[in-house]
Structure 1
Amino acid sequence: MSYAMIRHLRRTTLLCEQLRTETTLTNVTQEEFLFRPPVAQWSKVIREAEKIVGYPTSFMNLRWLLSDKFANLAMHLRKIVGSNHPIMKTAKTVLYNEHNNLQPWGLIILLLSKAVSSPTYSIEATTLIEQQRMLAELTEMIRTGHYIHKGLLNIPLEERDKTKETSIFANKIAILIGDYLLVTANGMLARLKNQDLSYLISTALRDLSEGEFYGPRDLQNMPLPGKPVKKNDDSFKISADTIPLDVKDVLGSPVKEWTLRTMYNGGSLFGRGCEGALLLGGRSDSDQKKAYLFGCHLCLAWQAASELQKFTSTNKEPFSLVSAPVLFALNNTPKLYDGLKNITKVSTIDFEELKLRILETDAIEQTKSLFEQHAEKAKSYVEMFGDNPSVSTIKRLIKTL
């Protein structure tokens, strides 16, 4: 390992240690990070999966973490350790938390690639593996960059005095780091020189962007739930078409709203990453669409599991107001919405009291049913790619939820 790499590792390690010991983190969170599975059995299955793909995904992002540009930006984060800016929570999640991070995105894409790849060794096969690896990495980087951009504070002009200098500086760092990751990911996509793949990923970028303008928001751009409405049909059809997601008559219908928000918040991107892996592998359009639907349903299943974990654990952390349990509870008890409809700052909500009121409804049972539906659909789609170690491992990953 070169001296430059050792230097960058020391910088990153130092920053991670500071973030690990930091306890004054913001209580305000954007939509929850996707892919936050329970710790139990997770690490063991991840290690076995990495053996199958022949690549340690724990170090997938080492390339950009060790770059001079990123290292310099990351060191600036040290200046705001101790503040309650959302970028600190984001940095801690991305750089330190070994369980609740984005690594499963790339690993699942690599497992899916392995499941449909020819076992023969050749120059073409080696090139394909490298291309699929780049796709897995750039998919993670786009999601990470987008998530970092979401960790910005909206500071009114009249409040931008000296007391807000740290927040303004933190905003600049969040923008620069997010931009660096997105630009780097797009550069990798361009180097793959595949027009069809570029089109798929661009549609996912469109969905990520449109999601930031969907539905009501508070002053910090935190998502607020739509007004509950009673409808006979509360199902959202996921289509593999690359047209924009259907937003008609969605707000207020719990399943529709939750599904659309989750698709906007990364489900579409992960689905396109899975689809792109089969596109690179030369599989049929039909198989590519199946891969997209698999990715979307797996994403939705994991998101539901993550939200269930929030409500069934004893911690007092805040939760997203557009998570499935909240939307189900609002639909079951519309009076709950009266206390949220005029919220200007999510941070002012008494989350502990709201959680207790939600637990009095059958929202948890409905969310469990939602998880089971998507987990079963993800399993059925991945089984279409044969009976092999990669598919079996993906099914085990689903089972650990």
Structure 2
Amino acid sequence: MTSVTALFSPVEDDLRVLNQNLRELVGARHPILFAAADHLFQAGGKQLRPAIVLLVSRATMPDRDITSRHRRLAEITEMIHTASLVHDDVLDESELRRGIPTVHSSFGNRVAVLAGDFLFAKSSWYLANLNDLEVVKLLSQVIVDLAEGEIQQGLSRFDADLSLEAYLEKSYYKTASLIANSSKAAAVLSGVSPEMANHLYYYGRDVGLAFQIVDDILDFTGTTETLGKPAASDLRSGNLTAPVLYALEEQPLLETLIAREFAEPDDLDRALALIEESNGIERSRTLAAEHTRLAIEHLECLPASESRQALTNLADYILRRLY
């Protein structure tokens, strides 16, 4: 299967510059804070979000080079994403992220929370310096959405009555909002029409939802080694995702196990078996495929280019991670 980094070939040089700039942008005066903030940048993430920003930037500027503001937007996007990961790991009490110790397990909760806050503050400062009010509003909304998503997830733990619509809304807030709004922001910086900017917002929204649904499927079908964290960790913590919600429609016993929060020794194993016996994973694949299809449709507004093709291939890649 094509690697995700190969898909980013049109912006490979741009991403190399981004990686060089991120450590300089952090620029924390306190060594511990700098080390904590720098920890995840070194963890070798896919950099999906800044790559999409850069690809959208190039796809909407086919006859010109992208600007320094496009590049800074990609860096801001990665900083916001990294800040959210630091806080997520504290809330989820995760020991591993991408196969390495999380910031809070290496530096403690206090430093991790401060490091996340610091990255959010830094990203907001650089965002304000783009001097584009619409872009500031788009990315500021993302930070609000990330908090809203965490609140919704915290309030719906072990809630077997959670609807698929509520799950998708939470997935939008936690994952898709950043991709959607940063894609639109890149288009705004390119000076495209409002209609094209909205199409790129919806591209990012549907790519983000497909990405989250696929991640939620892989939580059941992947291994600890491939996931970089324990398998079935979402279910264990009471975070009910698409495969579980679909399985609940077929397996009444599953609701009982969830309601008692897997209190008995074999409850989690029984729940996993019930999900595997159901059509939950297959129906979730269908849901992810639908969002992938919608995302690709929204790219029809763009002129043909290597970057547009990369955005299409990226949407396809997200789905192929399942196979």
Q: State the partner residue of 1:295.
A: 204
1:13 match = none
| Alignment-derived partner of residue 160 in structure 2 | 227
Partner of 1:179: 117
Q: Secondary structure at the match of 1:69?
A: coil
Aligned partner of residue 148 in structure 2, secondary structure: helix
- SS of match in other structure, 2:123: helix
Higher mean C-alpha deviation, range 322-331 or range 370-379: 322-331
Distance (whole Å) between structure 1 residues aligned to residue 105 and residue 133 of structure 2: 40
How much has 1:363 moved relative to structure 2?
0.4
Offset of residue 57 of structure 1 = 6.2
| Per-residue deviation, residues 161-202 of structure 1 (Å, max 9, x unmatched) | xxxxx9897111111110111111001101111111111122
Q: Could you report, residue by residue, the CA deviation over 1:75-114 in whole angstroms, capped at 9, with x for unpaired residues?
A: 479xxxxxxxxxxxx95xx34543xx25110011110110
Taking the TM superposition and a 5 Å limit, the aligned residue runs for 1:249-260 are: 252-254=162-164, 256-260=165-169
Tell me how far apart the structure 1 counterparts of residues 106 and 53 of structure 2 sit (CA, whole Å): 37
**Superposed displacement of residue 136, structure 1:** 1.3
Deviates more, 1:263-272 or 1:332-341: 332-341
Secondary structure at the counterpart of residue 159 of structure 2: coil
Matched with 1:354 is 271
Higher mean C-alpha deviation, range 380-389 or range 309-318 = 309-318
1:328 pairs, out of 243, 246, 251, with 246
Number of residue-to-residue matches in the alignment: 298
**TM-score, normalised with respect to structure 2:** 0.81
Are 1:50 and 1:57, in contact at CA under 8 Å, matched by a contact in 2? no
Moved >6 Å (runs of 4+): 166-169
Q: Structure 1 residues 360 and 70 mapped into 2: Cα distance closer, same or farther (>3 Å)?
A: farther
CA RMSD of aligned residues (A): 3.1
In structure 1, how many angstroms separate the alpha carbons of the residues matched to 2:280 and 2:87?
A: 31
Provide structure 2 residue ranges, at least 5 long, that are not aligned to the other structure.
Answer: 94-103, 225-229
1:108 paired to 2:69: no
Contact map agreement 2:53 2:182 (CA 8 A) in 1 = yes
Question: Is the 1:113–1:132 contact (alpha carbons within 8 Å) kept by the matching residues of 2?
Answer: yes
Question: Paired residue for 2:185?
Answer: 276
Separation in 2, partners of 1:66, 1:213: 27
Runs of 5+ in structure 1 lacking a partner?
1-39, 78-89, 156-165, 218-222, 229-251
- For residue 383 of structure 1, report the CA deviation from its aligned partner: 2.8
AA aligned to 2:23 is: R
Counterpart-to-counterpart distance in 2, 1:150 and 1:387? 38
1:118 CA drift (Å): 4.6
Q: Is 1:63 aligned to residue 23 of structure 2?
A: yes
Among residues 50, 67, 70, which one is paired with 1:129 in the alignment?
67
Aligned-residue offset at 1:66 = 6.7
Question: Which structure has the greater CA radius of gyration?
Answer: 1
Distance 1:55 1:391 in 2: 17
Give the AA of the match of 2:294.
Answer: K
The residue type paired with residue 253 of structure 1 is S
Secondary structure of the residue aligned to 1:227 is: coil
Q: Give the share of equivalent positions with the same residue, in percent.
A: 25
With normalisation by structure 1, the TM-score equals 0.66
How big is the shift at 1:384? 2.0
Q: Which residue of the partner structure matches residue 381 of structure 1?
A: 298
Which is richer in helix? 2
| Residue pair 1:76, 1:173 contacting (<8 A) in 2 also | yes
